[in-house]
Chain A
Amino acid sequence: MLEQILALLPQVIFDGLILGFVYAMVALGYTMVYGVLELINFAHSEIFMIGAVVGVEVFRYLAPHVENGFILLLIALILGGMVAGATAILVERFAYRPLRKRGTTNRLVPLITAIGVSFILQDLVRLIEGLWHNEFFLRMRTVEDLEGSVELFGGAIFAQTKSFILMGVSILMLLGLTYLVNRTKLGVAIRAVAQDLSTASLMGIDPDRIISRTFLIGGSLGGVAGVLFALQYTTITPYVGFLPGLKAFTAAVLGGIGNIPGAMLGGLVLGQLENFFGTYLPILTNGNFGTEYKDVVAFLILILILLLRPQGLLGQVVKEKV
């Protein structure tokens, strides 16, 4: 058994890394919105799903016309990011802003709204896809350029080209976002709003605009992640966002919610753990407990983290003011 485990290990780590990067990309969006509004934007899973659906559609329609697979992917990433970002702005404008304007203090109200929005988006996409193609399961069209693969370490790891693209894009996203938040004027404004919304508005910052842009950035990142997810895992349904969304939130909490490198780290750790249990649980228990229990593992990790280190791996303890 040990031999079997060791033989699989490099591949397990590599696949876990890919999964981790997907979670990390989605977690960035959760973390941004949470950092500014202290709102778990449940609808972010659906923003991610919309990105994935746009990716599938772009490949469906443009693959016969665009020769180069990489350019095709670039178009898909841009369009996916744009559509998802636009959806995020609309959601903020029509669901969350009215709540903010009324100044509801009850924390449950925005959370319930977020759940509602997430349901609406799921079924709206289902409706549109149903009318458009008469189908529910969307399959990503394969493009030859992106289907290449290499074997590393003497065949111990089977790695696809698209996996490398996914990793590269997510690292770029992390770097870009870190730069944006720490070095640009918009970043300063975002941090100011996150610190104290009313004081920020006294300093000549329009909080609505900044929040809207935060949603745009978080949403676009989610959309890009969705396109890459569709490329990697190929089958997409309107309900595909739920589990990755929940895991990405777990990753964000794991890393310390509101903390951008933390979200990345949390995603990678969670991806490793999940893939590890998903692969080895059947082997270790002689097939008595299957891969399905990997989701259970993810939730148990979430609970453990929240109990043992609620501020997350990289988060700071926030003193409660009375």
Chain B
Amino acid sequence: MSAVALLLTLAFLGLAYLAPGALTNLFGLVALGATAFLRLPPQTRTLNLALLTLAFTLGLVRSGNTLGLIGLVGILVALTTLPRIPTWIRGLLGLAILLLSVPMAGFANTFIFELGIQIGIYAAMALGLNVVVGMAGLLDLGYAAFFAVGAYTWAIFGSEQAKNFLAGNFPLPGEYMYLFMLIAVATTALTGLLIGLPALRLRGDYLAIVTLGLGEVVRILANNLDHPINFTNGPQGITPIQRPPIDWFRQLMGTLGVRLDQTTDYQLFFYLLVLLMIGLVVLVNLNLANSRFGRAWVAIREDEIAARSMGIPLLPTKLLAFMTGAAFSGVMGVIFAAQRTFVSPESFTLLASITILGMVILGGMGSIPGAILGAAALTILNLDILKTFSEFVRTSLPQIPSQVDPAKYERLVFGLILVLMMIFRPEGLIPEKRHKAEMEEA
């Protein structure tokens, strides 16, 4: 067994050097599968994972084929889930992938940066929603509303939009983005409070439908608050939005020996910023899960009546979960607005809310690595696989009408994922222990 896996890995390493590309990466995914699922001694497995990391990185740098990124995500998942791998190896390889492999690949193909940033933004949001849905068991179908509030908080003041209703020197300089990340925490937590106060008195299904409705209300407001006073600029959206100045970052990278140009400087900056945010969010998540509140949330999720009888105040505890989740989303909204320099109501539809929910469910409700994996899988599927597949269909089968363009069937794919997951694996890809136990019990 171990000889087979090692041989596959070495073959992939050779191929990645000689003939990088989509087919080679597919072969690499097979090798990764063999490493993860065959019965291997831990040393071989660790060695294999290290070699695979090297090979995927090499392939990405040489060809820029995005399948390699899936391989790297796969390795990260293997590192977090497989047993008996030394902790320092897990940490070292994980950091190497995040801080070396992805940026190096990004210089070869800037789309990989873009993918990385989008995955990161969604992963942080999925982690936020994970607090609400996974830990506290409150189904929120309007989560994108908080993302919108955060994004508009910075978009309005980081562009000339604020001139419409305030006297002053707008847009605010880019440095203010950091301040607005804090302000967004406050505005979204406040929105969470406003939405949560009425909605959280309700249970289960009703809560879901009310949050869905309120999410729509926020979108309608974003769409229509261009009159009588122009706050949001309506369906056209707001652009350009200021980004923070990053001269210090260029200098820092220069001293580290990385030469940045116009296309990659902000990409790398935002990529690292998003990574930092995810790190923070994970830390907060871990601490919350083990705190008094985390336990109270789980108690409410498992049995509301029992939790109440034990003296847990339901509404404040639920509100706190709601506001925490909202705040994470708000911060990512600010980063999203600054990174794209453009926001419009289209990014905050029901589909966006359901997509984030889909990430949490796909990964496994309540599970932190699960939420990140779910975000990676759905973002790659949506931004990369469906689009690539569309291009493939368009070029190789031109007689098929454009209505069948796979990129247009995002909902179909999400729907299938949701339904199949619920039927065959409701506990998610990387289940949280307690959830898994609950599902097996049932």
Give me the interface of A with B, judged by CB distance under 8 Å: 38-40, 95, 98-99, 102-113, 115-124, 126-127, 130-131, 134, 136, 242, 246, 249-250, 253, 288-290, 292-293, 295-296, 298-300, 302-303, 306-307, 310, 320, 322
Contact = CB atoms under 8 A, between A and B. Distances in A.
B198 A116 contact: no
B85 interface: no
B412 A296 contact: no
A269 B428 CA distance: 42
A115 B354 contact: yes
Contact of B418 (A115, A249, A300): A115
Given A112-B361, A306-B202, A119 B411 contact: yes
Rank and list the top 3 A-B pairs by shortest CB-CB distance, nearest first: A130-B403, A116-B418, A119-B415
Secondary structure at chain B's binding surface: helix, strand, loop or mixed? helix
A104 B439 CA distance: 7
Given A119-B414, A120-B416, 20 more contacts: A98-B423, A112-B422, A115-B354, A116-B415, A116-B416, A117-B419, A119-B418, A126-B408, A246-B209, A253-B209, A293-B224, A295-B217, A296-B220, A296-B221, A302-B213, A303-B199, A303-B210, A306-B201, A307-B198, A322-B305
B426 A104 contact: yes
A295 B357 contact: no
A131 B401 contact: yes
Contacts of B208: 40, 111
Contacts, number: 146
Contact of B210 (A116, A302, A322): A302
Interface of B: 133, 137, 139, 141, 198-199, 201-202, 204-206, 208-210, 212-214, 216-217, 220-221, 223-224, 227-228, 305, 350, 354, 357, 361, 401, 403-404, 408-412, 414-419, 422-423, 426, 438-439, 442
Contacts of A109: 422, 426
Contact of A306 (B206, B217, B224, B357): B206
18 contacts: A38-B205, A40-B205, A40-B208, A99-B423, A108-B137, A108-B204, A109-B422, A110-B422, A113-B418, A115-B354, A116-B415, A116-B416, A117-B415, A119-B414, A131-B401, A292-B220, A296-B221, A307-B198
A120 B412 contact: yes
A311 B412 CA distance: 35
A131 B139 contact: no
A99 B419 CA distance: 10
Given A99-B423, A108-B139, A299 B354 contact: no
B228 A246 contact: no
Contacts of B423: 95, 98-99, 113
B140 to A, nearest CB: 11
Contacts of B416: 116, 120
B303 to A, nearest CB: 10
Nearest to A132: B403
Nearest to A288: B228
A69 B213 CA distance: 38
B45 to A, nearest CB: 34
B339 to A, nearest CB: 27
Contact of A113 (B199, B419, B438): B419
Contacts of B422: 99, 109-110, 112-113, 116
A86 B209 CA distance: 26
A110 B198 CA distance: 24
Contact of A131 (B202, B403, B412): B403
A292 B404 contact: no
Contacts of A110: 422
A107 B301 CA distance: 11
Contact of B412 (A112, A127, A290): A127
B426 A106 contact: yes
- Determine which residue in B350, B411, B442 has the highest number of CB atoms from chain A within 10 A of its CB, and name it: B411
B227 to A, nearest CB: 7
A6 to B, nearest CB: 26
A121 B439 CA distance: 28
A296 B213 CA distance: 8
Contacts of A246: 209, 212-213, 216
A107 to B, nearest CB: 5
Contacts of A306: 198, 201-202, 206, 210
Contacts of B205: 38-40, 107, 111
Given A107-B204, A120-B419, A293 B438 contact: no
Contacts of B401: 130-131, 134
Contacts of A295: 216-217, 220
A306 B209 CA distance: 11
Q: Which of A136, A303, A322 gathers most chain B CB within 10 Å?
A: A303
Contacts of B198: 303, 306-307
Given A108-B137, A127-B412, A303 B419 contact: no
A284 to B, nearest CB: 13
A266 B27 CA distance: 59
A106 B442 contact: yes
A116 B442 contact: no
Nearest to B414: A119
Which of B139, B198, B214, B418 lies at the interface centre, i.e. has the most chain A CB atoms within 10 A of its CB? B418
A186 B129 CA distance: 43
A115 B351 CA distance: 10
Nearest to A97: B423
Given A95-B423, A112-B361, A307-B201, A118 B415 contact: yes
A307 B315 CA distance: 14
Given A104-B439, A131-B403, A299-B213, A119 B354 contact: yes
A295 B198 CA distance: 18
Contact of B213 (A95, A106, A130, A303): A303
Contacts of B409: 123, 126-127
